[in-house]
A and B are shown apart, each in its own frame.
Chain A
């Protein structure tokens, strides 16, 4: 039981923190459903160096006891290491065209995920999580995260006034959120839900990204801006606390009892071209 944090949104979606749920009860409800959970992650260019650690830590902590399919989208299949997976878990390489710059690639992720769902993963998984690859699992990530539409609170903005959220503030962008509006600031590194719902919202986000492109504008935080715009008007049915999307460079406040998924320390100049 947590009395120090908000555990339900005003639209009655649970906010998942350690202490709010009982894993045994949830497992007993979800295990018999024989679900397959999908994970998408993009390892483009030099980001392939993060794949090994991502997968090894996922094998230790992500959806233990469930069937998992990892879909690694990459332009560099040869550099993807061979990671030993447990039974019931698969690893699939999804080849991608290399785009001229890192920013351009990241703006195509919504489209790539959407297309991949339509062509392949809708037949293979029940739930799909879209995660950043330059991250590591440190603690359990289980069925408490499953829901129709799932978003995560960005670790940099959970204790910051709404006026300081880095929403896109130019009204010419399709990701525009006016002052005073907004619920939470969601992080682009973690989102997911029922595969059908992820299909729908990646399509919508891709459309708004294209709209901006046609108008010669690029949103402040790229896909994350569009994701925040989308989740403002189509509210998530479940929200993950920053335990599920942490940044190791931040000091851990007392409200964060457990870090489950966090950034890997990296030299940014080294990995971008």
Chain B
């Protein structure tokens, strides 16, 4: 059947309409963009008078902005209602990845019950729980908007081993599965409990948490790896903050890049017969030195219970749980 004049006309009209649409919208939506609430609906929530007075800093006692203009999240610096409204407009799903291997299975119950209550409460969270003991995971009560995925992993002979291949596991699963299910992903140690809300103030492209041991330390006393033979080595005198590997995250794309890079460093070190001083945390710190986080969480967001709490920590949102026995 040949192309008749009518077909030709139809083609021309379609092309014309498409051309007109292109003309009026120079920025066609990205193919991976999810349908969102109308951008005409603005945020209608109010700020208080004392929240937006340019001459009145909310926290004078701590640093709230890094030299590369990433906010550092402390109690008093943010209004969660406004942030919630902004987050909900974008229809986002956030994931949490955590590992419960061998004895660490004992922490699952405490972690999951407190996370269901305090982690991004009211928003959909996908929990990805990697464990070598799926049968031991008792039936866990999930908040109605949350989902739990139990993923079996292999046992390793040493704690460091599983820790060291966590980065590898995370990056593999992002590639094969997580990228299709979530927008943001956070890696959290299982041996913690949440005591206060951790909300959407943590959501940003690349997020690191300042270690509670190091928040005031001078650079020299930081725990960076310094041996140049290791891929995690940071030259003396360099470094911004010391970040904890117990809580980090960001967009699924950025966490993929981070975990891949760290895993690569881990594997190269292994081949060269060296292990970084603080294992994956050393590699994380190297990565975040050269790929600066877009947002930092204060030590409120991961507090080591062994430390006594200074006045600048007004809230302890998530704390390590005391461990019995050796790692």
Contact = CB atoms under 8 A, between A and B. Distances in A.
Interface string B17-57: 00000011011000000000001101110110101111111
A196 B27 contact: yes
Contacts of B63: 1
Contacts of B43: 233-235
Contacts of B27: 122, 196, 199
B54 A15 contact: yes
A62 to B, nearest CB: 19
B49 A162 contact: yes
Contact of A10 (B40, B42, B47, B57): B47
Interface in A1-58: 1-16, 20-22, 25-26, 29
A199 B68 contact: no
Contact of B73 (A1, A6, A12, A180): A12
Contacts, number: 110
A118 interface: yes
Interface stretch (A102-110, A153-161, A210-218, A265-273): A153-161
A21 B68 contact: yes
Nearest to A23: B67
A241 interface: yes
A189 interface: no
Contacts of A5: 54-55, 57
A196 B47 CA distance: 27
Interface residues on B, range: 35 or more
Interface in A92-143: 117-118, 122-123
Given A11-B78, A22-B68, A235 B55 contact: no
B148 interface: no
A171 B57 CA distance: 32
Interface stretch (B79-87, B223-231, B313-321): B79-87
Contacts of B155: none
A78 interface: no
Nearest to A118: B26
Nearest to B54: A158
A255 interface: yes
A8 B86 CA distance: 17
Given A11-B86, A12-B78, A14-B65, A181 B46 contact: yes
B54 A25 contact: no
A199 B71 CA distance: 27
A220 interface: no
A61 B203 CA distance: 34
Contacts of B58: 6, 8
A232 interface: yes
Contacts of A263: none
A76 interface: no
Contacts of A181: 46
A184 interface: yes
* B39, B52, B53, B60: residue with the most chain A Cβ atoms closer than 10 Å: B52
Contacts of A248: none
B44 A233 contact: yes
A241 B54 contact: yes
A216 B296 CA distance: 49
A184 B52 contact: yes
Interface in A155-212: 158-159, 161-162, 180-184, 196, 199-200, 204
A12 B65 CA distance: 10
A255 B295 contact: no
Contact of A11 (B57, B64, B67, B83): B83
Contacts of A223: none
A200 B27 CA distance: 10
A184 B49 CA distance: 10
Contacts of B68: 21-22, 25-26, 29
Contact of A122 (B26, B40, B71): B26
B65 A6 contact: no
B153 to A, nearest CB: 35
* B53, B63, B65: residue with the most chain A Cβ atoms closer than 10 Å: B65
Nearest to B61: A3
A144 interface: yes
Contact of A6 (B26, B56, B67, B201): B56
A8 B65 contact: yes
B52 A183 contact: yes
* A7, A21, A117, A204: residue with the most chain B Cβ atoms closer than 10 Å: A7
B69 to A, nearest CB: 5
B55 A8 contact: no
Nearest to B42: A233
Interface of A: 1-16, 20-22, 25-26, 29, 117-118, 122-123, 144, 153, 158-159, 161-162, 180-184, 196, 199-200, 204, 230, 232-235, 238, 241, 255
Interface of B: 23-24, 26-27, 39-40, 42-44, 46-47, 49, 51-58, 60, 63-65, 67-71, 73, 77-79, 82-83, 86, 201, 292, 295
The 5 closest A-B pairs by CB, nearest first: A233-B42, A22-B67, A10-B79, A122-B26, A12-B71
12 contacts: A1-B63, A3-B57, A8-B65, A10-B79, A20-B65, A21-B67, A183-B52, A184-B54, A199-B26, A199-B27, A233-B42, A238-B69
